[in-house]
Every structure is written in C-alpha cells, then in structure tokens.
Copies of this chain bind each other. A is one copy, B any other.
C-alpha cells in the first residue's frame, strides 16, 4: 500500500515519546527509514540523517510519513506547509492522525496537481468481504492480551524479526495505524464497519505456503468491554493455529475502565482457546509475552519465572530477551 522508503516527519514533537510511530518504523523497518525532517522546536530525534524535502526526494524517498503526534490534536499550518511542499515534490503522504490529510484543502489540491496520494491509514482503503470462515492454507499466530496496550504489536513484530533471522517464512500483519505505517500495509480494524471485521481479517491473512506464518497484530482484549467485539472478530477471522498471551503485570485495572480488574492469564487462556476452537479445533496457546518495562531487571526475572512455572508455557519479555523462545514454541505447530 505505502511506497517506500520513507522520509519521517517529526514536526515539532514535544518529546521522544510523541515520535513513537517514527521510532517504530526505525526500529522494525530500518530499511524504510531514509531520513528525518524536524521543524523548529522539535524535541524528538531518531538519529537519522536530517533531510529537507528536496534532499529526501533526491535520495529516493517515496512517501513522507507523519511519524509524530501533533500538539492539540489538529494539524497546524506550520505542518501543512511542509506536507504541501512534499506533495508538490511528488511524494505520497501518509498519516495515522485522527484528523485527516484529506480534509486539508490545500494539501488535497497539491497532491492532485502532482499526481501523488494522501493515505489516512485510519481510513479503510478497501471494501472488505463478509467472512466465509473457510479454512486457509498456511499458519497463523495471534497475540491476545489480558488488556489493551500490553505489548501485542511489539510481540508480533519481535516474533517476525526472529523468524526472518532464522530464514522462516513469516509476515507481520498490521491491524492498527501504527503497525500499518511501520510495515506499509494492513487493515485499520477498529475503523472497519462491524459486518466486515472478520472478513477484513481473512482478507489480510490469505492462503499461503504451508510453512508460512502470519504474525497477526492483536487489538483490544476479550475482557475489555469497549473493544472485545474487535478482538472476537480477529480471533474468528484470523483462524489462529497458535495464540501468544500478552500481559502487563503492574496494571491495576483495565485500560480506561477503573471499575474493571484484569483477568488472570488462566482466564485469558481458557476464553481465548474456547473462542478460537470454533474456527480452528487444533489451536494451542504456545507462549506468554510479559511487558516488564515497569519492573527492575531482578523483578522482571522473578516475574517471568513465576509465570512460566505457573502456566507451564515459555514466558519471555521480548524487549528484554528477544522472541526466540516464543518462536521455538511454534516449531511443532
């Protein structure tokens, strides 16, 4: 969908965290990250070559990716000037922001004039079919979480990286805007119309070689009342052969819902298996990914060992330890 390589636009990001989309691209698809463009006052820095639009274009950049969150939720004029310049120069523009590129008249005009494209990756780009539940060839692994934002995308990307390093056939399949910008394609599942959610996931993970693995990015949680329907569609559209449970051990309640406590990993395992078996009776939980960012190295070690002993499954923090043990566990699937 998106043409690569990218010029990463950081705008006037107030801190490094505001540029996490750009950071994700640099971390997971460094070959896409040609350079960075920062405006005055930008506090984020990816350590990439600084480029003007003209320099990036000369170096072969195909798409300017808006890689930072903007201040106040709207694209201000100082951003629009740069984006319009990129469009005039013949580059596509891609953004995952809430407000859309296609709603900025001067940018639309510039892109039209130059014959380039504006990609609002939160907006579905296809008409997806209704799911037919047909068994597909190839294998699929889905990350499911005890909550939202516990590291499901990171886990799937880390597994893909480890698998490609071993020469295994695998593809990360993005289902959210950050994942789409990182990998250049995917389905913005939370923006798909209800009837077509599962069909969109089937479309995203089509028939493949028998030894090919899709690493399907999870969304929401079966236990999160706001988004559980999206998770259910991922499980039934994704037809997973393997499930990896994702967890954040210091979370005191479901994200955004102070009155809901987190489920146990056992409860997640049981409900995820029960629902996934409807479409794939052979599905198994193969491993556990714990996001221990809030723990010390010593605490993390203790936590991972405790979970592994309790659950009887390979348990890692892929950020600290890599995802090799999660990949090993797929071997017999």
Could you say which of B132, B237, B254 contacts A257, with CB atoms under 8 Å apart?
B132
Q: Does A131 contact B (CB under 8 A)?
A: yes
Contact pattern, A 256-293, Cβ under 8 Å of B = 1, otherwise 0: 11011001000000010011001100000000000000
* Shortest distance between the CB of A200 and any CB in chain B (Å): 9
Residue of B nearest to A257 (CB): B133
* Shortest distance between the CB of A188 and any CB in chain B (Å): 9
Contact pattern, A 167-196, Cβ under 8 Å of B = 1, otherwise 0: 000000000000000000000011111110
Residue of B nearest to A234 (CB): B229
B226 touches A133 (CB 8 A): yes
Copies in the complex: 2
Could you say which of B194, B199, B259 contacts A233, with CB atoms under 8 Å apart?
B194
Contact pattern, A 309-323, Cβ under 8 Å of B = 1, otherwise 0: 000000000000000
Residue of B nearest to A279 (CB): B225
* Shortest distance between the CB of A210 and any CB in chain B (Å): 20
Q: Does A236 contact B (CB under 8 A)?
A: yes
Contacting B at CB under 8 A, from A190-244, are 190-195, 197-199, 222-223, 225-233, 236-237
Query: How many angstroms from the CA of A254 to the CA of B236 in the assembled complex?
Result: 14
Query: How many angstroms from the CA of A257 to the CA of B223 in the assembled complex?
Result: 27
Query: How many angstroms from the CA of A134 to the CA of B195 in the assembled complex?
Result: 26
Residue of B nearest to A278 (CB): B223
Could you say which of B133, B193, B229, B232 contacts A260, with CB atoms under 8 Å apart?
B133
Chain B residues near A278 (CB-CB < 8 A): 222-223, 225, 228, 260, 263
B194 touches A190 (CB 8 A): yes
Chain B residues near A257 (CB-CB < 8 A): 132-133
Q: Does A135 contact B (CB under 8 A)?
A: yes
* Shortest distance between the CB of A2 and any CB in chain B (Å): 22
Residue of B nearest to A200 (CB): B194
Q: Does A130 contact B (CB under 8 A)?
A: yes
B230 touches A195 (CB 8 A): yes
Chain B residues near A132 (CB-CB < 8 A): 226, 256-257
A197 touches B198 (CB 8 A): no
B193 touches A191 (CB 8 A): yes
Chain B residues near A134 (CB-CB < 8 A): 259
Contacting B at CB under 8 A, from A100-147, are 130-135
A228 touches B223 (CB 8 A): no
A271 touches B275 (CB 8 A): yes
* Shortest distance between the CB of A195 and any CB in chain B (Å): 4
Q: Identify 13 residue pairs between A and B in the complex whose beta-carbon atoms are under 8 Å apart, listed by A's number.
A: A131-B225, A131-B226, A133-B259, A133-B260, A190-B193, A193-B194, A194-B229, A197-B229, A223-B278, A226-B236, A229-B229, A229-B230, A229-B233
Query: How many angstroms from the CA of A191 to the CA of B259 in the assembled complex?
Result: 29
> 14 extra interchain contacts, Cβ-Cβ under 8 A, other than A131-B225, A194-B233, A226-B236?
A133-B254, A133-B257, A134-B259, A135-B259, A191-B193, A197-B229, A198-B226, A222-B278, A228-B233, A228-B236, A228-B278, A229-B231, A263-B278, A271-B275
User: With A133-B260, A225-B279, A275-B271 known to touch, is A230 a contact of B191 (CB < 8 Å)?
Assistant: no
A193 touches B193 (CB 8 A): yes
